[in-house]
Amino acid sequence: MNDSEDIVRLESVEKTFRDFWLRPTVKAVDGLSLSVRKGEVFGLLGPNGSGKSTTIKMILGLLSPSAGDVRLFGLPPRAIEARRKLGYLPELSYLHPFLTAKETLRYYAGLCGLKSAEAKERTTQLLEMVGLADVAGRPVGGFSKGMARRVSLASALVGRPELLVLDEPTSGLDPVSTKEVKTLVKALAANGMTVLTTSHLLADAEDICDRVMILDHGKSVAEGRVSELGTSLEDFFLAKVGDASEFRLAPFLG
Partner 1 sequence: MIGFAKVFWLEIVSLVRSKTLVMLAVASVAWMFAAPFIAKGDGTADGAREMFVRYSLGGAFAILLVSLLAAATGSLARERAAKRLQLTMVRPVNHMLVALAKTAALTLSGASVLALCCILMPFAPGVGDGVLGRQCSHVLKPRLPSPRDEARDMYDAYMADPETPAAVKKAKKSVVLRLLENRAVDHYQTIATNDTVTWRFASAGTAAEAKGLAVRIRFTNQFDVRQDVRGELRIGPLSGVVSNITKAVVTVPLSRRAAEAGVAGAADGLSFSNKGSSALMLRPRKDIDLLVPADSFAWNLARAYLELVSILAIAVAFGVFLGASLGRPVALFVAIVTLVVGEISPSVIEQYPDELETSVADRIGLVLTRFAAEVTRPVAALQPLGRLASDECVEPGETARVVLLDFVAVPLALALLAGLVLPRKQDGL
Residue 173: count of CB within 10 angstroms of its CB: 20
Smallest distance from the beta carbon of 136 to partner 1, in angstroms? Answer: 16
Taking CB under 8 A as the binding criterion, the range among 83-91, 207-215, 219-227, 232-240 that sits at the site for partner 1 is 83-91
Taking CB under 8 A as the binding criterion, the range among 62-70, 185-193, 221-229, 239-247 that sits at the site for partner 1 is 62-70
Residue number with CB closer to partner 1 (66 or 210):
66
| Dist. CA 230–CA 190, nearest whole Å | 24
| Under rule CB under 8 A, residue 73 binds partner 1 | no
| Dist. CA 74–CA 82, nearest whole Å | 8
Smallest distance from the beta carbon of 203 to partner 1, in angstroms? Answer: 28
Strand partners, 67: 14
**DSSP 3-state of 89:** strand
Q: Which helix (H) or strand (E) holds 223?
A: strand 219-225
| Under rule CB under 8 A, residue 52 binds partner 1 | no
**DSSP 3-state of 73:** coil
| Under rule CB under 8 A, residue 233 binds partner 1 | no
Smallest distance from the beta carbon of 115 to partner 1, in angstroms? Answer: 11
Please, which of residues 85-144 interact with partner 1 by CB under 8 A? 86, 88, 90, 92, 94-96, 98-99, 103, 107-108, 110-113
Residue number with CB closer to partner 1 (42 or 237):
42
| Dist. CA 66–CA 91, nearest whole Å | 23
How far apart are the two ends of the chain, measured CA to CA in Å?
A: 53
| Dist. CA 218–CA 149, nearest whole Å | 28
Smallest distance from the beta carbon of 78 to partner 1, in angstroms? Answer: 6
Q: Between β-strands 67-72 and 211-216, what pairing exists: parallel, antiparallel or unpaired?
A: unpaired
| Under rule CB under 8 A, residue 145 binds partner 1 | no
Smallest distance from the beta carbon of 45 to partner 1, in angstroms? Answer: 22
| Dist. CA 162–CA 189, nearest whole Å | 10
| Dist. CA 158–CA 108, nearest whole Å | 7
At position 169, the amino acid (one-letter code) is P
Residue number with CB closer to partner 1 (26 or 111):
111
Q: Which of 10, 36, 60, 185 binds partner 1 (CB under 8 A)?
A: 60
Point out which residues bind partner 1 (CB under 8 A).
57, 60-64, 78, 80-81, 83-84, 86, 88, 90, 92, 94-96, 98-99, 103, 107-108, 110-113, 155, 159
